[in-house]
């Protein structure tokens, strides 16, 4: 601006001297305009071919504009480079991950996956983008997992192609309505678990026969009248301990049998009120029962299931209630049906269970008070057996308990399992 004023001033002076004021001023203005147009042209040409041209060497405000553009361009170039580095790092990281990752859109359509997911799920780059994951991973368990919509835990499926490959699939929410499918190969864990189960099953079977022989001899000797009183005392203890060992081995065999069978329990009619009435007779006749026992059958309906497993469920719960209820207490067993299905509950006025133990109660060998459980002949496997038998019948169990007051264990069976004899 000051330079333009100077030029105009000079033009005015020349105009005054020559007497051609208007022509001189117009000439000066025209020259200034032409110069600015030329600078604008240089700037525009440089912006257009920035990659191949150096920035024009302009002074004044045009020079400032060029410097500003150069600064913005440099910043953009830096951010672009950084972004490319981040993307490259992300790609390397996801390729190195031991797990497969699939990014899914709102309609479960595939947006992206890493090479591991491609290998495990048999997906193809580009070809499968945009297709729904459930159309490409065709597996009934995975489909019902998606339909259920409860993704807190993964679902384990057997891979259709390949040999014995087991995959764990878990959906994880992220972004807005998007999901990640995390895929892990859990074949090794499944194999180890199967080996563990086989080992427990084989070991318990191997122990059963020698134990029966030992228990038989101990029984005979303990009942022999010529045995010394001191030795008889030891024999009585041996008899008690061998009975406990037999109970543990029997429970281990039963648990292994239930665990090795993933399928549903058969649909064979079981007269539940009749079964419970028979059990009631046995409970009343039990010599170790010190509490009152009451049985309320509020339904004549029975169930479709495996009788031996249902017997195990009922007898374990009633047995526990009697074991953990001191003399003078009361145990009530109830069977009823309603619109939701069949229900069996056992309520006792016994020792109760503190809340922190409740979630772990159905674990194998989990005992609230190991001393008390062993003293009463408990194997620590009863509730694990109950849980597995219920699972095979599509059932579930609630436990409500208060320490020192008593507990209620309630089993729920689905309506589809409830039936009458005809
Ligand atoms: P156990 O053979 O030791 O009874 P269970 O698996 O049947 O094994 O039960 C696990 C633990 O749960 C028991 O050791 C006991 O501490 C607790 N428990 C089960 N039923 C009851 C009950 N009715 N009242 C109080 N505690 C119970």
CATH number of the domain that residue 241 is part of: 1.10.287.130
> Residue 148: what pLDDT?
87
- Please say if the pLDDT value at position 257 is more than 80: yes
140 vs 348, residue with greater confidence: 348
**pLDDT single digits (tens) 376-403:** 777 889 999 999 999 999 999 999 999 9
User: Which residue CA neighbors atom 13 of ligand 1 most closely?
Assistant: 367
- Please say if the pLDDT value at position 362 is more than 70: yes
**pLDDT single digits (tens) 171-206:** 999 888 889 999 999 999 999 988 998 999 999 999
> Residue 281: what pLDDT?
92
Pair (105, 225) in one structural domain:
no
Predicted confidence band of residue 417 (pLDDT cuts 50, 70, 90): very high
Pair (323, 231) in one structural domain:
no
Element (H, E) at 55: none
The finding on whether 397 has its CB within 6 A of some atom of ligand 1 is no
Distance CA(63)–CA(70), nearest Å, equals 11
Whole-number Å distance, alpha carbon 241 to ligand 1 midpoint, is: 19
Predicted confidence band of residue 290 (pLDDT cuts 50, 70, 90): confident
Q: Which of 254, 285, 375, 263 is nearest to 324 (CA)?
A: 375
Give pTM, 2 decimals. Answer: 0.68
199 vs 372, residue with greater confidence: 199
Pair (359, 414) in one structural domain:
yes
The finding on whether 367 has its CB within 6 A of some atom of ligand 1 is yes
| Mean pLDDT within 92-116 | 89
The finding on whether 353 has its CB within 6 A of some atom of ligand 1 is yes
Distance CA(168)–CA(193), nearest Å, equals 15
Whole-number Å distance, alpha carbon 129 to ligand 1 midpoint, is: 53
Predicted confidence band of residue 351 (pLDDT cuts 50, 70, 90): very high
| Mean pLDDT within 118-124 | 89
Q: How many helices (H) and strands (E) does the chain have?
A: 12, 13
The edge-to-edge listing of strands for the beta sheet with 406-414 is 292-297, 330-338, 341-348, 406-414, 396-402
- pLDDT > 90 in the chain, percent: 56
Element (H, E) at 390: helix 382-392
> Residue 294: what pLDDT?
93
Name the residue of 378, 388, 401 to mutate for ligand 1: max ligand atoms within 8 A of Cβ: 378
Whole-number Å distance, alpha carbon 157 to ligand 1 midpoint, is: 33
| Mean pLDDT within 286-291 | 85
Whole-number Å distance, alpha carbon 48 to ligand 1 midpoint, is: 82
> Residue 160: what pLDDT?
62
Predicted confidence band of residue 162 (pLDDT cuts 50, 70, 90): low
**Domain C-terminal end among 31, 55, 87:** 87
Whole-number Å distance, alpha carbon 272 to ligand 1 midpoint, is: 23
Domain that holds residue 21: 2-87
**H-assigned helices in 49-175:** 60-96, 115-121, 133-136, 140-148
3-state secondary structure 211-260: HHHHHHHHHHHHHCCCCCHHHHHHHHHHHHHHHHHHHHHHHHHHHHHHHH
> Residue 171: what pLDDT?
93
Distance CA(369)–CA(232), nearest Å, equals 30
> Residue 407: what pLDDT?
97
4 vs 68, residue with greater confidence: 68
Q: How many domains does the chain have?
A: 4
**Domain C-terminal end among 185, 211, 238:** 185
The finding on whether 368 has its CB within 6 A of some atom of ligand 1 is yes
| Mean pLDDT within 280-298 | 90
Whole-number Å distance, alpha carbon 367 to ligand 1 midpoint, is: 6
Buried b (16+ CB within 10 A) or exposed e, 137-147: bebeebeebbe
User: CB-based contacts of 332: which residues, under 8 Å, 6+ apart?
Assistant: 293, 294, 295, 296, 346, 347, 348
The finding on whether 350 has its CB within 6 A of some atom of ligand 1 is yes
The finding on whether 380 has its CB within 6 A of some atom of ligand 1 is yes
> Residue 1: what pLDDT?
63
- Estimate the share of the chain in helix, then strand, then coil, as percent rounded to the nearest 5: 55, 20, 25
Whole-number Å distance, alpha carbon 86 to ligand 1 midpoint, is: 55
Pair (27, 117) in one structural domain:
no
CA dihedral 334, 337, 342, 345 (to 10 degrees): -20
Confirm whether 300 is domain-assigned.
Answer: yes
Name the residue of 252, 288, 318, 320 to mutate for ligand 1: max ligand atoms within 8 A of Cβ: 320
Contacts of 353-356 with C-beta under 8 Å, sequence gap 24+, read 353/399, 353/401, 353/403, 353/407, 354/403, 355/401
Pair (413, 281) in one structural domain:
yes
> Residue 210: what pLDDT?
94
Confirm whether 92 is domain-assigned.
Answer: no
Predicted confidence band of residue 167 (pLDDT cuts 50, 70, 90): very high
Through-space distance between the first and last CA atoms of the chain, rounded to whole angstroms:
107
Mean pLDDT, all residues of the chain:
90
Neighbour-count burial of 250, counting CB atoms closer than 10 A to its CB (0-12 exposed, 13-18 middle, 19+ buried): middle
Pair (278, 337) in one structural domain:
yes
């Amino acid at each position: 601006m000051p330079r333009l004023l100077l030029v105009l001033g000079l033009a005015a002076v020349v105009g005054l001297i020559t007497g051609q004021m208007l022509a001189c001023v117009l000439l000066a203005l025209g020259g200034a305009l032409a110069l600015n147009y030329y600078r604008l042209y240089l700037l525009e040409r440089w912006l257009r071919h920035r990659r191949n041209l150096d920035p024009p060497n302009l002074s004044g405000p045009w020079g400032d504009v060029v410097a500003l553009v150069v600064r913005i361009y440099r910043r953009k170039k830096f951010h672009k480079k950084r972004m490319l580095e981040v993307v490259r790092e992300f790609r390397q990281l996801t390729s190195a991950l031991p797990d497969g990752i699939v990014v899914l859109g709102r309609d479960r359509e595939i947006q992206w996956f890493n090479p591991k997911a491609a290998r495990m799920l048999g997906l193809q780059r580009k070809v499968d983008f945009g297709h729904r994951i459930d159309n490409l991973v065709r597996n009934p368990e995975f489909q019902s997992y998606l339909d259920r919509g409860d993704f807190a835990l993964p679902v384990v499926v057997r891979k259709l192609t390949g040999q014995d490959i087991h995959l764990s699939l878990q959906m994880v929410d992220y972004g807005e309505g998007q999901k990640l499918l995390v895929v892990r190969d859990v074949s090794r864990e499944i194999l180890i678990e199967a080996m563990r189960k086989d080992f427990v099953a084989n070991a318990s079977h191997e122990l059963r026969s020698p134990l029966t022989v030992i228990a038989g001899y101990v029984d005979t000797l303990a009942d022999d009248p010529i045995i010394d009183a001191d030795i008889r005392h030891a024999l009585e203890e041996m008899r008690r301990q061998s009975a406990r060992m037999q109970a543990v081995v029997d429970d281990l065999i039963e648990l292994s049998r239930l665990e090795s069978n993933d399928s549903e329990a058969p649909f064979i009619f079981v007269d539940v009120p009749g079964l419970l009435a028979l059990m009631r007779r046995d409970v009343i006749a039990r010599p170790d029962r010190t509490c009152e026992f009451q049985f309320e059958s509020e339904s004549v309906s029975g169930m479709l299931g495996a009788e031996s497993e249902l017997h195990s469920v009922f007898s374990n719960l009633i047995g526990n209630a009697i074991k953990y209820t001191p003399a003078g207490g009361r145990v009530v067993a109830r069977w009823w049906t309603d619109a939701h299905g069949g229900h069996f509950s056992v309520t006792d006025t016994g020792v109760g269970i503190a809340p922190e133990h409740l979630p772990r109660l159905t674990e194998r060998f989990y005992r609230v008070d190991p001393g008390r459980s062993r003293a009463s002949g408990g194997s620590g496997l009863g509730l694990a057996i109950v849980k597995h038998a219920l699972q095979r019948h599509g059932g579930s169990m609630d436990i409500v308990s208060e320490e020192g007051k008593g507990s209620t264990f309630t089993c729920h069976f689905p309506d589809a399992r409830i039936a009458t004899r005809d």
